[in-house]
Copies of this chain bind each other. A is one copy, B any other.
Amino acid sequence: MEFLTGVKEKETLEISQILAGDYEGKQIRVKGAVHTIRNMGDVAFLVLRKREGLVQCIYEEGKSQFDIHDIKEGDTLEVSGTYKSDERAPHGFELRLDTVEVLSRPAEPMPLMISKWKMNTSLEAKLNHRAVALRNLRERAVFRIQEGITRGFRDFLYGQGFTEIHTPKLGAKSAEGGANLFKLEYFHRPAILQQSPQFYKQMMVGVFDRVFETAPVFRAEKHNTKRHLNEYTSLDFEMGYIDGFEDIMAMETGFLQYTMKLLSESYGEELRILGITLPKVDKIPAVRFDEAKQRVAEKYNRQFRNPFDLEPEEEHLIGEYFKEEFDSDFVFVTHYPSKKRPFYAMDDPADPTYTLSFDLLYKGLEITTGGQRIHDYDKLMEKIEKRGMETEGMEHYLSAFKHGMPPHGGLGIGLERLTMQLIGEDNVREATLFPRDLSRLEP
């Protein structure tokens, strides 16, 4: 009989442990994967890849007690060596190697040059060899940044009194109607994959006042663009007892402020690797939809066809405009036309052609849609009837309203899009661990 009492300190060290200690001249042990070997004859540079970065190890013939020719790229090792400060080395130190134990060994050499600073490889090749390509330091740093965003979202909202929920992805009916749904059979019944947690998070406002979820959503859209995915991670929140939809925008601004601070404090190494300068988020302009269209049309001397929608090019120009005029990478575009918004969006009492809703554009790309929702049962039924919609399958959603719901609103943020804009990429697949698109269902 044995007992587990929790995590034990290991004798092998991580980089942060080494940097926090005083190891000059002392022998330490480290585990890692062989990132590169540069053999100069009597001396060789063996660089280990660990989760916190690289460790430079020096092999010296006659001193090190193994043969460097026995070590290959991709091996995983436990090495012992003597710590020596060297400001030219990563993290300012190197290890003079004594012994090496091989923990595992690849069967074949790498298909990609993952040890290069920038891989000269097509996106297609990187996606085909995803598990290997991500071993490149720059590639993997993207997903550390993505972790920071998700973590910032949750931690900020915990602090604001939100409750985290897990809503089902399998359902009989979806929030936004029948289009663009993946369909499947669920024990001899028709089912769909949810394209949004919309109905569920609204229902839960009646329970917890404020809720959030970070989970996958599924959209069977036949878009083949650089900014669409068929499965992505949605950062959703919904909050009750709001005074207006400005409360939602204020909360999102707070999230961005919190997250940029978190990234700068806890993900500095990854920001450095990717050369990212974090955007300013101390104040974010908000402009009405119609005003934004007009400003852009005037400044750039462009006329757009559809007065009720923003074309991608127009979103791009709005982003440019607010960067130039207000030095802001972000802009809230408010009061979207009612006909472009789902039935549950609250119309502006001052002019019901428009809604109390918004998109957040980041460098000219929509990364958030949000707004105030209708909370009154009768008004909700009225809007549903006016649109000629069926209530069949919506009984549970409507029942929450029938039994009372506070004024509320919320938003959904596309995690991969936000990551992509932050790291300055132009294809959302660069910011998706394993993208799902029209042609890609593997790996």
Contact = CB atoms under 8 A, between A and B. Distances in A.
Interface of A: 1-8, 10, 12, 14, 31-33, 50-52, 74-76, 103-111, 129-132, 134-135, 140, 143-144, 146-147, 150-151, 154, 158, 160-161, 163-173, 182-187, 189, 191, 193, 200, 203-204, 206-210, 215-216, 218, 220, 222, 230-231, 233, 240-241, 243, 246, 249-254, 257, 282-287, 332, 375-378, 393, 396-397, 399-407, 415, 433-436, 438, 441-443
B406 A33 contact: yes
Nearest to A208: B51
18 contacts: A4-B284, A4-B332, A5-B253, A31-B406, A76-B406, A76-B407, A103-B241, A104-B406, A104-B407, A106-B404, A107-B401, A131-B203, A131-B204, A131-B206, A140-B208, A169-B231, A189-B441, A393-B442
Contacts of A286: 1-4
A35 to B, nearest CB: 11
Nearest to A150: B164
Contacts of A438: 187
A107 B441 contact: no
Given A131-B400, A144-B163, 15 more contacts: A4-B250, A6-B257, A14-B161, A33-B404, A51-B161, A51-B209, A51-B210, A75-B404, A76-B241, A131-B403, A135-B207, A147-B165, A151-B164, A172-B441, A182-B184
Given A33-B406, A51-B208, A404-B106, A250 B7 contact: yes
**4 A-B pairs with the lowest CB-CB distances in the bound complex, closest first:** A396-B443, A106-B404, A74-B404, A184-B184
Give the copy number. Answer: 2
Contacts of A108: 402-403
Nearest to A241: B31
A182 to B, nearest CB: 6
Contact of A103 (B110, B209, B406): B406
Contacts of A32: 241
